[in-house]
């Protein structure tokens, strides 16, 4: 293990554990497009119950789950509102425009919140403007450092949207990280939203897959669009079994990832040339800045760390490390030592 890289590029790089592989091999199978794969059905029922929704749909990726939600809640030419750093706007290949045919109005803030939401909504009989039909939030918010959204703000956003007949969607790719960090049931974090996406292949450690949860009617519509988008899978229980295993065995252990991220952040914040906002290190993501005056820029630091067997991501000054179940305490110690050598 000491010779393997410490891969902190993302929590998507995890490998299935031996026990997860056994669960995959033993999964009873059917044809999910026909709706008779028992393992997929069990996973969908479990996700819907956990999130407090009527139904859920298993899909190949978080991007597909989010884009299905947009398609369900909007019509071509509508407008959605999301945070300026939202994954759904910035990292899904423009799917909101290409697939759902909607425009996006964004609101910026340091914590993933949507201040001034009411003023951003378009609901006027003026043909110059698109109608706002969907408001999206993200929890945890990747672009803001993996922070957990303020529950009071979330409740105010969903209530304000509902009062004006606007649907709400939560990009909950890392909602279980948010639940563990805030000691709140995941269903409480999903309450008030018309739809919620959740990813199994990030901190939960499954090799592939996400789910979209919502009303029975919404999920029925999403199932049709899943087929249209090429997301209908056949004996999908093989991979759904990994997601089920992750929900049963890998949720509570997320606290370890959070603790390691915090310890790593505190250690590198003491190194020369590194700036970390520790108040934003709340889950398993650590964003940090390399001071422009340092002899290394971010690209050079990434290369130097790679030579030391440590993998991270970043640009000229802003970089990110992400802890997960394949990085243990020894890996964090190796990483801190590699940082110290690279920056000295």
In tens, the pLDDT along 160-190 reads 999 999 999 999 999 999 999 999 999 999 9
Name the DSSP letter for residue 337: H
Q: Has residue 117 been placed in a domain?
A: yes
Tokens 């990030």 locate to: 202
Residue 288 maps to which CATH number?
3.90.1150.10
Angle, CA 129 vertex, CA 125 and CA 131 arms, to 5°: 75
- Cβ burial of 204 (10 Å; 0-12, 13-18, 19+) is buried
Q: Please name which of 81, 48, 18 lies closest in space to residue 215, comparing C-alpha atoms.
A: 48
| Whether residue 52 sits in one domain with residue 161 | yes
Between CA 302 and CA 243 the distance in angstroms is 32
pTM of the model: 0.95
Instruction: Tell me the mean pLDDT in the region 62-79.
Output: 98
| Whether residue 122 sits in one domain with residue 202 | yes
Q: What pLDDT shows up at residue 245? A: 98
Is the model's pLDDT at 32 over the cut of 90? yes
Chosen domain end from 249, 277, 307: 249
Q: What pLDDT shows up at residue 87? A: 97
Chosen domain end from 228, 249, 270: 249
Is the model's pLDDT at 292 over the cut of 80? no
Q: How many domains does the chain have?
A: 2
Is the model's pLDDT at 51 over the cut of 70? yes
In tens, the pLDDT along 105-115 reads 999 999 999 99
305 Cβ contact list (under 8 Å, min separation 6): 311, 312, 335, 338, 339, 342
| Whether residue 314 sits in one domain with residue 215 | no
Instruction: Tell me the mean pLDDT in the region 35-40.
Output: 97
Q: Has residue 3 been placed in a domain?
A: no
Strand pairing report for 310-311 and 6-7: parallel
Q: What pLDDT shows up at residue 334? A: 97
The SS3 of residue 297 is: coil
Q: What pLDDT shows up at residue 260? A: 98
| Whether residue 110 sits in one domain with residue 244 | yes
Q: Has residue 11 been placed in a domain?
A: no
Could you list the residue range(s) of the whole structural domain that residue 295 is in? 253-343
Q: Has residue 290 been placed in a domain?
A: yes
| 316 confidence band (pLDDT: 50, 70, 90) | confident
| Whether residue 258 sits in one domain with residue 245 | no
| Whether residue 243 sits in one domain with residue 293 | no
- Cβ burial of 2 (10 Å; 0-12, 13-18, 19+) is exposed
- Rounded to 10 degrees, what is the CA torsion of 296, 299, 304, 306? 160
Q: What pLDDT shows up at residue 339? A: 96
User: Residues 260, 332: contact at Cβ < 8 Å?
Assistant: yes
Question: What b/e readout covers 211-239, taking b as 16+ CB neighbours within 10 angstroms?
Answer: bbbbeeebbebbbebbeebebbbeebbbb
Between CA 231 and CA 226 the distance in angstroms is 5
| Whether residue 232 sits in one domain with residue 272 | no
Q: What percent of the chain has pLDDT over 70?
A: 99
Q: What pLDDT shows up at residue 2? A: 57
Q: What pLDDT shows up at residue 4? A: 85
Between CA 237 and CA 40 the distance in angstroms is 5
In tens, the pLDDT along 214-264 reads 999 999 999 999 999 999 999 999 999 999 999 999 999 999 999 999 999
Q: What pLDDT shows up at residue 170? A: 98
| Whether residue 129 sits in one domain with residue 80 | yes
Q: Please name which of 151, 74, 70, 168 lies closest in space to residue 117, comparing C-alpha atoms.
A: 168
Q: What pLDDT shows up at residue 112? A: 97
In tens, the pLDDT along 115-158 reads 999 999 999 888 899 999 999 999 999 999 999 999 999 999 99
Q: Has residue 43 been placed in a domain?
A: yes
Omega before 140 cis (within 30°)?
yes
Q: Has residue 57 been placed in a domain?
A: yes
Q: Has residue 46 been placed in a domain?
A: yes
| Whether residue 212 sits in one domain with residue 111 | yes
User: Residues 44, 211: contact at Cβ < 8 Å?
Assistant: yes
Tokens 């606290």 locate to: 255
Averaged pLDDT score across all residues of the chain: 96
Query: Token digits for 341?
Result: 């050598």
User: Residues 11, 323: contact at Cβ < 8 Å?
Assistant: yes
Residue 245 maps to which CATH number?
3.40.640.10
């Amino acid at each position: 293990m000491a010779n393997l890289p410490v891969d902190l590029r993302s929590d998507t790089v995890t490998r299935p554990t031996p026990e997860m592989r056994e669960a995959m091999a033993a999964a009873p199978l059917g044809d999910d497009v026909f709706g008779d794969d028992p393992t997929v059905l069990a996973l969908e029922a479990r996700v819907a119950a956990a999130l407090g929704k009527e139904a859920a749909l298993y899909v190949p990726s978080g991007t597909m789950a989010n884009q299905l939600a947009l398609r369900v809640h909007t019509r071509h030419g509508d407008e959605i509102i999301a945070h300026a750093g939202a994954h759904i706007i910035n990292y899904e290949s423009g799917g909101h425009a290409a697939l759902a045919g909607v425009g996006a109005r964004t609101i910026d803030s340091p914590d993933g919140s949507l201040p001034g939401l009411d003023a951003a909504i378009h609901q006027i009989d003026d043909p110059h403007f698109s109608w706002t039909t969907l408001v999206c939030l993200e929890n945890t918010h990747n672009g803001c450092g993996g922070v957990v959204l303020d529950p009071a703000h979330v409740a105010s956003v969903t209530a304000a949207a509902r009062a004006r007949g606007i649907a709400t969607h939560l990009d909950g790719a890392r909602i279980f990280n948010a639940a563990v960090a805030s000691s709140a049931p995941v269903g409480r974090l999903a309450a008030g939203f018309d739809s919620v996406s959740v990813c199994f292949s990030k901190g939960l450690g499954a090799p592939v897959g996400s789910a979209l949860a919502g009303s029975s009617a919404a999920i029925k519509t999403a199932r049709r669009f899943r087929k249209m988008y090429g997301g209908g899978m056949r004996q999908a229980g093989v991979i759904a079994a990994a997601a089920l295993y992750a929900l049963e065995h890998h949720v509570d252990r997320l606290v370890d990832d959070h603790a390691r991220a915090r310890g790593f952040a505190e250690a590198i914040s003491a190194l020369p040339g590194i700036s970390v906002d520790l108040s934003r290190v709340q889950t398993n993501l650590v964003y940090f800045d390399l001071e422009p005056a340092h002899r290394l820029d971010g690209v050079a630091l990434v290369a130097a760390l790679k030579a030391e067997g440590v993998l991270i991501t970043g640009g000229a000054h802003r970089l990110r490390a992400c802890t997960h179940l394949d990085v243990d305490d020894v890996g964090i110690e190796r990483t801190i030592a590699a940082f110290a050598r690279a920056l000295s």
